[in-house]
Amino acid sequence: MQLRNFLKLMLGATGFMMSGLAWAEEKEPGEPLEKEESAGKGGENWVSLFNGKDLEGWTPKFVGHKAGENYRDTFRVEDGFLTVSYDKWDEFKQVFGHLFYKTEYSYYRIRAVYRFVGKQVKGGPGWALRNNGLMLHGQTVESMKLGQDFPASIEVQLLGGAEQGRRTTANLCTPGTHVVFGDRVEKRHCIGSRSKTFRGDQWVTCEVEVRGSEGLRHFINGELVMEYKLPQLDDGTLIEKGTISIQAESHPTQFKSIEILEIEK
């Protein structure tokens, strides 16, 4: 790691730990987190990122297709819900997609109410069953390569449970990135949260507090389920800001709302 990035890493860690947000005591991956109230508070001015009518402000990007091409009309607004639909697909064939919002953000809270509906499209990978994600601190849609599967980003992975067994949501996945737990850079691609399992088509509220390169916290229905610090690219460069996108990974998904609240450093 270059010297300047090492210094930024250390300074970022200090700022993260000294912030006045009452961050929970740091845990190693897999250790339980204590229940904590959601970062969101009543009376604040949350702004919706979609207008309930169309995809204004959003740009789709699918593997093998140019940015702006909404392959098979996958992303759409139906009945006021931002929807990922596969009713015009015959088979998945690994054509992963993302829908990027127009603005990059650094210090903010994002709150999404989502659910999984219907059946996975034929050919979808097993791990993508009832699977979507909030891709945060992401690269721009313009910088995505034509055949690139996923944007370099911090993914808050959204999962729905199967009929049986535990399957957490608001997990962490790191395409092209790493984060720090405690004093260790974590290089596993996906790490489970401490959330409950949510089955069926129930609505779930995921909220994430993002504080630039300091760190992130994940909440599900108001309960803190994961936190980490120093989001960075694979080369160690700290990520201060980035795009927001949602996924199309082969399972139909609906978002009742996606809202953002910018916060002070």
What is the pLDDT, as a whole number, of residue 71? 98
As for how many domains the chain has, the answer is 1
Q: Which amino acid is at 16?
A: F
Q: Which amino acid is at 187?
A: K
The pLDDT confidence band at residue 258, using thresholds 50, 70 and 90, is very high
Whether the per-residue pLDDT at 15 is higher than 90: the answer is no
The pLDDT confidence band at residue 9, using thresholds 50, 70 and 90, is very low
Report residue 204 as tokens.
């779930």
Give the mean pLDDT of the chain: 89
Whether the per-residue pLDDT at 4 is higher than 90: the answer is no
pLDDT tens per residue across span 69-113? 999 999 999 999 999 999 999 999 999 999 999 999 999 999 999
Handedness of CA 190, 20, 39, 253 (dihedral sign): negative
Higher pLDDT, 168 or 35: 168
Task: Report yes or no on 26 lying in a domain.
Answer: no
Is residue 207 within 8 A of residue 255, CB to CB? The reply is no
Helix (H) or strand (E) holding 97: strand 97-101
Whether the per-residue pLDDT at 33 is higher than 60: the answer is no
Task: Report yes or no on 27 lying in a domain.
Answer: no
Q: Which domain holds residue 97?
A: 3-19+50-262
In this prediction, residues 177-181 reach a mean pLDDT of 98
Report residue 78 as tokens.
């139906």
Whether the per-residue pLDDT at 24 is higher than 70: the answer is no
What is the chain's Cα-based Rg?
18
List the CATH number of the domain containing 132.
2.60.120.560
Task: Report yes or no on 79 lying in a domain.
Answer: yes
Task: Report yes or no on 121 lying in a domain.
Answer: yes
Task: Report yes or no on 213 lying in a domain.
Answer: yes
Task: Report yes or no on 38 lying in a domain.
Answer: no
d(CA 184, CA 148): 29
Task: Report yes or no on 221 lying in a domain.
Answer: yes
What is the pLDDT, as a whole number, of residue 31? 44
Task: Report yes or no on 30 lying in a domain.
Answer: no
Give residue for tokens 């996945």.
Answer: 173
